[in-house]
Amino acid sequence: MEAIILGDLKLPFSHAVRVGEMVFVSGQASVDLDTGNIVGGTLAEEIERSMKNLRTVVEKAGARWENIVKVGCFVRRDEDLPEFNRLYREYFSEPFPARTTVTNCLPPSLLFEIDCVALID
């Protein structure tokens, strides 16, 4: 097992853990990976930064974006689901990864968070 840690973590977790040919990525939010500070914004801005962070961690762990097989998405407000689904298609295409989406679960400082499982080929 190999832990992947980028920048200054403010909480006790690894950005990802690689086990064999699988990578388990912790929730990535609109956070500056160097400082660990939250960077707020609109839903679109937070999704963009979160996806950028997710890609950085996935690639640092040795996987490719196209090999993400499962994602967990966390959206603070129910009313943001249509916009979230529209934006999600900008980052993932068919065949889409398996996905779980949970709403009304984030603190007021975040609008979006995403985690994933990826395979290394």
pLDDT digit string, tens, across residues 33-42: 888 899 999 9
Enumerate domains of the chain plus CATH numbers: 2-119 (3.30.1330.40)
- E-strand spans in the chain? 2-4, 16-19, 22-29, 68-75, 98-103, 112-119
Least Cα distance to 117 among 49, 53, 63 occurs for 63
Answer with the residue of higher pLDDT: 7 or 47: 47
Three-state SS for 20? Answer: coil
Q: What is the pLDDT of residues 51-107, one digit of tens each?
A: 999 999 999 999 999 999 999 999 999 999 999 999 999 999 999 999 999 999 999
Two tokens at 11?
């909480």
Predicted local distance difference test score (pLDDT) of residue 9 = 72
Could you tell me the pTM of the whole model?
0.94
**What value, to the nearest 5°, has the Cα angle with vertex 116 and ends 112 and 121?**
145
Predicted local distance difference test score (pLDDT) of residue 11 = 77
